[in-house]
Amino acid sequence: MGCKGQGLFMGKRVLVAGMARSGVAAASLLSAIGAEVTIYDQKGEAELAEALKPLEALPIKRVLGREPELAGFDLLVTSPGIPLTAPILRGAAQRGLKTIGELELASRLCPAPIIAVSGTNGKTTTVTLLGEIFQNAGRLSFVVGNVGLPFSQELPKIKPEDIVIAEVSSFQLETIESFRPETSLLLNITEDHLNRHGSMEEYIRLKARIFENQSGEDCVILNLDDPLLRDLAPKAKCRLAYFSLEKQVKYGCFLEEGYVAFAEKGEVKRIVLADEIRLPGKHNLQNSLAAATAAMIAGVPAPVIRHTLKTFAGVEHRIETVRVLGGVTYINDSKGTNVDASIMAVRAMKAGSVLIAGGYDKHTDFLPFAEEIARSKIHTVVLIGETRGQIEGALRQVGFSAIEMAESFKEAVVLAGERAKSGENVLLSPACASFDMFKDYEERGRVFKEIVNAL
């Protein structure tokens, strides 16, 4: 394997913590480039048997189901799911053991330019759209990170002439050091993950880390319509571009007489009519502007961007039509894992709808969600999970009382279908994470589709 900078890790004794997808990928990569790897997870061998299959033939030591002794290691590589407050990371900090995340590891070894995308909502849609744009332009692109495939897993395939499009979460940004994308993109910042980060101030600080190492000809692209992002602009030490639905920008994409247009050095180039973009909703128009800005800056021809925006149908689990049954349209928005994302899904409903909401508690204020529901096309809400009492309280506070409680996920889907009339929708958009009932939002979405297709 000819990774850039692989000598940095050869012969090093590395502990990889957390055996979810990114941890397994990091362990495999490190072993391939000559590191002495030990893996650690709180779960035991039996529980991790399936996850660890990719590591079976590799010379990797295992410390599973118990805390490892940190003496003797040169480096700790941690998975994004492990908070900085976890005993293993606190112990490493006290001992002075250098700790980086899987994103930092892969980026140090990556031979190709990186476009990194973050924000509270829209990341997956934007990186997938960008991947499609580059593929249509004839350039091999690797869409990695928080979106599904770990960066470390794809790294052996990446060549210098390719491009990496990384979806980057605040969890991943906690443990970067020298991570420096050629282009970074911040879509928006709204309240999320406060159970992990403690405050909005800390969450915003972490999001801004995406461009902290950028300089010179690197570029950060910010949403001009988001006041929190406008306030971050002075921190940029590199070129600054914007996208906006509301104002003309000097460098970046904006709306001009119904067109998505790109401005650069005093010239404006129209790319596509906004009404011709296939993705529905105002939020997806923002995502399209963001992706178009990054693609134009990277030199992709405008006709390629136009074609992709007119044909790209979106991503699984994000306002995804599953089935029409008895005149009722079932819509999977399992990726609505926070209030702001689900507000966007609620706004996208143009007919009467029944909403299924609730899940894992991330210490979120549900009042804005309830207020949006009260003025929307939603006429009934079916609640599930840990947060159902909190959401019910917020709904009753705004005078919304058509609330049903379900004990199981299947019961919620069946109940919602019974409450919806022909010509209406059943929308799954939980406004919460899934960890109280499912492994992740993808599993929640798949189970929803299985239930709906079996009705």
In a domain, 3, yes or no: no
Ramachandran category for residue 166: left, alpha or beta (phi over 0 → left; psi -120 to 50 → alpha): beta
Indicate the residue type of 384.
I
Which domain-ending residue is among 276, 311, 346? 311
Strand, helix or coil for residue 265: coil
Residues 128 and 92 in one domain: no
In a domain, 257, yes or no: yes
- Read off the CATH number of the domain in which 422 is found: 3.90.190.20
Residues 295 and 352 in one domain: no
Please, what sign has the CA dihedral across residues 437, 440, 445, 447?
negative
- Read off the CATH number of the domain in which 40 is found: 3.40.50.720
Domain count, the chain: 3
Over residues 89-132, the pLDDT tens digits come to 999 999 999 999 999 999 999 999 999 999 988 888 999 999 99
Strands 163-167 and 114-118 come out as parallel
Over residues 247-272, the pLDDT tens digits come to 999 999 999 999 999 999 999 999 99
Looking at every residue in the chain, the average pLDDT score rounds to: 93
Give the confidence band of 43 by pLDDT, cuts at 50, 70, 90.
Answer: very high
Residues 351 and 229 in one domain: no
Residues 130 and 265 in one domain: yes
Ramachandran category for residue 349: left, alpha or beta (phi over 0 → left; psi -120 to 50 → alpha): beta
What is the model's pTM?
0.78
CB 238 within 8 A of CB 218: yes
Mean pLDDT for 67-84 is: 93
Which domain-ending residue is among 277, 311, 345? 311
**Residue 196: its pLDDT value, please?**
62
Strand, helix or coil for residue 321: strand
- Read off the CATH number of the domain in which 252 is found: 3.40.1190.10
